Structure 1
Amino acid sequence: MSGHAIEQIKTKPAAALGRSVESSIAANRCREELARNVDELHALSRRGLWGLLLFLGVSAAALYLSQMEACSLIQLQLKEIFGPPPPSDLLHVVLAVSWLSGFVLILGRRGADGKPGYNWCNIALPTAFYPLYVFSDAAGAYFPAVFCAGLVILLLEHGFAVCYARKVIREANDRLSRLPL
């Protein structure tokens, strides 16, 4: 009987050691996964900055092209090909609907506390209005409206992505601090 008790005492530390090794391996995997998630969140935030920079570059190019005299020649050629330009009121309505739909989608994701759905359509939609406005008004009088609409949407989306990333990174750091060494 005492031999049986001694044998059980010997095997318990080995089993406990195996469990501690398994838990440290699981903790290391968890640390690696959390670090990978944090890196993805930083990349999401940088993508928003790149999107803002791209939009500002396209906006500067559109402003420069709209101020060139060659733009009026191109506008005349486009009128011959496509006919008269759309009325500016119609362009304003379409820009407003596009801006409002983007605004609602961003706020909807924010209200649902979901992951930001940043994509390149947020840059493409406002910049698509530049050629339309240049075609309808070569003077570039509508540039501030398109620029402000695009900038507000991109800043709102980027602000949401940064807030989301900050919150999730803080939660990941809390989880990391609770993991066993």
Structure 2
Amino acid sequence: MDSHGQYEQRVVWAVVGTGIGPLLLAATREGLVNVVFHATDPVRDRALGRLASRLGAEPVEAPASPLLTEAISQVEAYFAGERRAFDLPLDWSLISGFNRQILRELASGVPYGTVVGYGDLAGRVGRPGAAQAVGTAMGSNPLPVVVPCHRVVESGGGIGGFGGGLEAKRKLLALEGVLPEPLF
């Protein structure tokens, strides 16, 4: 038991259905800490196991927690086309260094309905040659959708990669009006 209350780290989670499949949302006292795509039971259970080992606390299902209730509400409004920005406290403890710097810039500097190239984003944090490192940061984003890595694309017009799969990336960009609605 230490003065920082580490022994009390509480991790709560819930799954919300969306237009790109079920998303696992997990939060600590600090804020939303993890969003996981395709949160079927096996995916959810693996993600919760990783969170338990990374954060040192067994995640508890608690959709009624005030933070998760608000996060679920904002995610549902986003997928309904009624919300363009998330206003949630975020817990950045699952990511650090350059990756955290890039993701914070993405969260604050690339608004709904816009896209940015990997190299452009690297330039914004003073590392113009680090496009590949930006790709790595996007792949390790613990808060996809809320921290909008789907808005990062290739400078030549390619859609780029996406942890949730390219179909999910296309749907998110179509939702935001950047791409036409997929035909199939």
TM-score of the aligned structures, taking structure 1 as reference length: 0.26
Could you say which structure has the higher helix fraction? Answer: 1
Relative contact order, higher structure (CA 8 A, sep 6+):
1
Q: Compare CA radii of gyration and give the structure with the larger one.
A: 1
TM-score of the aligned structures, taking structure 2 as reference length: 0.25
